[in-house]
Amino acid sequence: MKFSNFLFPESRDPADDNRVIDETLREARLSDELGFEVIWLAEHHFDGICAYVDPISFAAALAVATKRAKIGFAVAQMSLHHPIRIAEQLALIDNISKGRLIVGLGRGTAYNIYDYQGYGLDHTEAQARFEEAEAIMFQAWRGQQFQHHGRFWDIKLPMLRPRPFTQPHPFVIRSASSEEGMLHIARQGRPFMMNVQSNEVTRHRMELYRRTLRELGFDDAAVVRNVEQCWVWRNVFVAETDAEAERIAVPAFEAMHEHRSAMRQRVYEEQGVSIVPMPPPGTAPAARMVVEHSLIYGSPATVTERLAQVAAIGVGGVIMQFRLGPMSYDDVAQSLTLFMHQVAPEIADR
């Protein structure tokens, strides 16, 4: 099971943006030095829940700032991007990083309608834009002249330059927040990224994913290869003791989710619009908001035991977010170091 760091830094005040972005670069360099397999980047706009906002630009910085770790998107919101522009940008980053790019794609946020409003897009078109844009991007990466006349774009491309460093193109993976979305990806024979879910749901979906691949005619070796490229997301914090981890991580986790919901609630109160119906009072929270399911915290021994439960499910890797909400850089750096020095080797030995 591969280990990675998901850089998802919160900045509550525009005056703090520069500091948080600088700290995130430091966190990326430290993650690279410690030996994390992948450094993942998010994309969210206008609300400060992801300080660097644009994963494409930030990935270019990381391609220079890091030496070994792969650089992935979890995810780039494809419906917000022009497909030729992003094809060029990703080809350039793939060249700068010498093939360390993982192109994680999603249609766009399922929660924050203002991401679409700010770009002047209808959120109900997000999936259709995603499908068309991805197909154009794959075609562009072939490096040949082509024309496209679709629902959203009319394109006449003489040739894409530069061509990707990785041939025929960088590794592309899709995200799935629902079981239906996972099945859609599985039926294409592709690996996927799963958002935060309970271990029970994660186990069910991975079993369903394997069964779907077998029904498509994948043999056991091919199923294993696909599973090795699938990722699941958990929030993680390691401290010297369980008590210290709880003192730091749990309040930060709770504050993080309060901040992530604030702008969505404000827009709903001002405009009366949302992508999904706002939950009525008393509704049980989603797994991503529940400490028991979403946050693995404690001493190195405790975190080892809890991550071993995820490993037993059978996944390729864990997308781990270490910096939670208002957590300080120093606390994050200590957590990352403890993880790679004391947790990762123990799980590898098992």
The band of 277, judged by pLDDT with boundaries at 50, 70 and 90, is confident
pLDDT at residue 283 is higher than 90: no
Residue 73 near residue 102, CB atoms below 8 Å: yes
**pLDDT tens-digit profile of 165-199?**
999 999 999 999 999 999 999 999 999 999 999 99
pLDDT for 320 equals 98
Structural domain count, the chain: 1
**pLDDT tens-digit profile of 94-134?**
999 999 999 999 999 999 999 999 999 999 999 999 999 99
**pLDDT tens-digit profile of 56-95?**
999 999 999 999 999 999 999 999 999 999 999 999 999 9
Which residues, in sequence order, are CB contacts of 304 under 8 Å at separation 6+?
A: 342, 343, 346, 347
Domain boundaries, position 323:
2-349
pLDDT for 279 equals 81
The band of 282, judged by pLDDT with boundaries at 50, 70 and 90, is confident
pTM over 0.95: yes
pLDDT for 250 equals 98
For residue 49, what is the DSSP state? S
The band of 338, judged by pLDDT with boundaries at 50, 70 and 90, is very high
pLDDT for 284 equals 84
Q: Which CATH number is 315's domain given?
A: 3.20.20.30
The band of 281, judged by pLDDT with boundaries at 50, 70 and 90, is confident
Mean pLDDT of all residues belonging to the chain: 97
* DSSP E strands, the chain: 2-7, 38-41, 70-73, 76-77, 101-106, 146-149, 154-157, 171-176, 192-194, 231-238, 295-298, 317-321
Token pair recorded at residue 263: 């702008």
pLDDT for 239 equals 98
pLDDT for 285 equals 87
